[in-house]
Structure 1
Amino acid sequence: MISDPEALKNNLPRVFIKTFGCQMNKLDTELSISSLVKKGYSFAEDENDADVILLNTCSVRDKAEHKVYSQLGSLRDQKEKNPALILGVLGCMAQNEGDRIFKRMPHVDLVCGTRMFSRLPELLGEISGNNRQILAIDEDGEVNFDRLVTQRQNQHNAFVSIMRGCDNYCSYCIVPYVRGREFSRSVTDIVDEVKKLADDGCKEITLLGQNVNSYGKGLKGKVTLASLLRELDPIDGIERVRFVTSHPKDMTKEIIESVGELSTVCEYLHMPVQSGSDKILKKMRRQYSSAHYKGLVDMAKSMVPGIKIASDFIVGFPGETEEDFEDTVRLFHDVRFQNSFIFKYSPRTGTAATELIDSVDEEIKKRRNHILLDLQKKISTEENRKMHGKFVEVMVEGGSKTNAGRLSGRTRQNQIVVFNLPEGTKQADVSASLSGKLVNIEIEDSTDLTLFGVLRDSPFNKMTH
Structure 2
Amino acid sequence: MKTCAFITLGCKVNQYETQAIRESLTARGFMEISPDHAADFYIINTCTITSVSDEKSRQYIRKVRRKNPDATVVVTGCYADANGDMIKKIEGVDYVITKKDEPHIAEIICGSEIHDNHIKEPFVLPLNDSNCNEDFTHVNLMSVRQKEKDRLAVIAPVKERDNRRVKRPALKHNSSSIYNLKISRFEGHTRAFLKIEDGCDVYCSYCIIPYVRGEINSRELGEIEDEARRLINNGYKEIVLTGIHLGAYGRDTQGNHRLLDVIHMLSNLSGLERLRLSSIEVNEITNDLIDLVAHTKKVCPHFHIPLQSGDDFILKRMNRKYTASQYVEVLDNIRSKIDVPSFTTDVMVGFPGEKDVHFENTVELCKKVGFSRMHIFSFSVREGTLAAKMHDHCQPQIIKQRKAVLEAAANNIAFAYKKQFLNKVVEVLVEAERDHKTNQLCGYSERYIRVLFDGPDT
Q: What is the identity, as a one-letter code, of the residue corresponding to 1:94?
A: A
1:392 match: secondary structure: coil
Q: Which residue of 1 aligns with 2:447?
A: 413
Q: Deviations over 1:274-311 (max 9, x none)?
A: 00111100100111111111111011111111111111
Give the distance between the partners of 2:38 and 2:391, measured in 1 at CA.
48
Give the distance between the partners of 2:254 and 2:354, measured in 1 at CA.
42
Q: Which residue of 1 aligns with 2:239?
A: 205
Q: Which residue of 1 aligns with 2:219?
A: 185
Out of 42, 51, 62, the residue aligned to residue 62 of structure 1 is 51
Out of 215, 227, 233, the residue aligned to residue 249 of structure 2 is 215
The answer (yes or no) to whether the contact 1:127–1:134 under 8 Å persists in 2 is no
The answer (yes or no) to whether the contact 2:85–2:126 under 8 Å persists in 1 is no
Give the distance between the partners of 2:451 and 2:230, measured in 1 at CA.
29
Answering whether residue 380 of structure 2 is matched by residue 346 of structure 1, we say yes
TM-score w.r.t. length of structure 1:
0.83
What percent of counterpart residues are identical?
Answer: 30
Q: How many aligned residue pairs are there?
A: 408
Q: Report the Cα offset of residue 152 of structure 1.
A: 3.0
The answer (yes or no) to whether the contact 1:31–1:145 under 8 Å persists in 2 is no
Q: Which residue of 1 aligns with 2:31?
A: 42
TM-score w.r.t. length of structure 2:
0.85
Q: Deviations over 1:87-136 (max 9, x none)?
A: 11011111111132112x14211001223222112211343432133126
Q: Which residue of 2 aligns with 1:373?
A: 407
Q: Which residue of 2 aligns with 1:108?
A: 93
The answer (yes or no) to whether the contact 1:21–1:58 under 8 Å persists in 2 is yes
Q: Which residue of 2 aligns with 1:124?
A: 109
Describe the shift of the 1:279–1:198 C-alpha distance in structure 2 as closer, same or farther (beyond 3 A): same
Stretch of structure 1 that moved more, 192-201 or 68-77: 68-77
Q: Deviations over 1:14-43 (max 9, x none)?
A: 211111121111111111012223333222
* Ranges in structure 2 where 5+ consecutive residues have no aligned partner: 114-118, 128-147, 150-171
Give the distance between the partners of 2:330 and 2:51, measured in 1 at CA.
32
Q: What is the identity, as a one-letter code, of the residue corresponding to 1:307?
A: P
Give the distance between the partners of 2:63 and 2:437, measured in 1 at CA.
33
The answer (yes or no) to whether the contact 2:185–2:192 under 8 Å persists in 1 is no
Q: Report the Cα offset of residue 49 of structure 1.
A: 3.4
2:427 match: secondary structure: strand
Give the distance between the partners of 1:78 and 1:346, measured in 2 at CA.
30
Q: Which residue of 2 aligns with 1:149?
A: 184
Out of 403, 406, 419, the residue aligned to residue 385 of structure 1 is 419
Q: Which residue of 2 aligns with 1:452?
A: none
Q: Which residue of 2 aligns with 1:73?
A: 62
Matches within 5 A, 1:135-146: 135=125, 140-141=172-173, 142-146=177-181
Question: Relative contact order (C-alpha < 8 Å, sep 6+): which is higher?
Answer: 2
Matches within 5 A, 1:303-452: 303-403=337-437, 405-421=439-455, 427=456, 431=457, 433=458
Q: What is the identity, as a one-letter code, of the residue corresponding to 2:103?
A: S
The answer (yes or no) to whether the contact 1:109–1:127 under 8 Å persists in 2 is no
The answer (yes or no) to whether the contact 2:247–2:281 under 8 Å persists in 1 is yes
The answer (yes or no) to whether the contact 1:317–1:358 under 8 Å persists in 2 is no
Q: What is the identity, as a one-letter code, of the residue corresponding to 2:60?
A: Q
Q: Report the Cα offset of residue 270 of structure 1.
A: 0.3
Stretch of structure 1 that moved more, 33-42 or 410-419: 33-42
The answer (yes or no) to whether the contact 1:347–1:358 under 8 Å persists in 2 is no
Give the distance between the partners of 2:427 and 2:322, measured in 1 at CA.
35
Out of 97, 121, 142, the residue aligned to residue 83 of structure 2 is 97
The answer (yes or no) to whether the contact 1:59–1:93 under 8 Å persists in 2 is yes
Q: What is the identity, as a one-letter code, of the residue corresponding to 2:249?
A: Y
Q: Deviations over 1:128-174 (max 9, x none)?
A: 432133126665333034424046333x4211001001111101111
Give the distance between the partners of 2:250 and 2:120, measured in 1 at CA.
44
Give the distance between the partners of 1:191 and 1:72, measured in 2 at CA.
36
2:368 match: secondary structure: helix
The answer (yes or no) to whether the contact 2:17–2:181 under 8 Å persists in 1 is no
Give the distance between the partners of 1:405 and 1:360, measured in 2 at CA.
43
1:18 match: secondary structure: strand
Q: Which residue of 2 aligns with 1:20?
A: 9
Q: What is the identity, as a one-letter code, of the residue corresponding to 2:123?
A: Q
Q: Which residue of 1 aligns with 2:139?
A: none
Describe the shift of the 1:148–1:160 C-alpha distance in structure 2 as closer, same or farther (beyond 3 A): closer
Describe the shift of the 1:349–1:301 C-alpha distance in structure 2 as closer, same or farther (beyond 3 A): same
The answer (yes or no) to whether the contact 1:116–1:136 under 8 Å persists in 2 is no
Q: What is the identity, as a one-letter code, of the residue corresponding to 2:290?
A: I
Give the distance between the partners of 2:372 and 2:186, measured in 1 at CA.
32
Describe the shift of the 1:255–1:145 C-alpha distance in structure 2 as closer, same or farther (beyond 3 A): farther
The answer (yes or no) to whether the contact 1:162–1:215 under 8 Å persists in 2 is yes
The answer (yes or no) to whether the contact 1:115–1:143 under 8 Å persists in 2 is yes
The answer (yes or no) to whether the contact 1:198–1:237 under 8 Å persists in 2 is yes
Q: CA RMSD in A?
A: 1.9
Out of 116, 133, 148, the residue aligned to residue 123 of structure 2 is 133
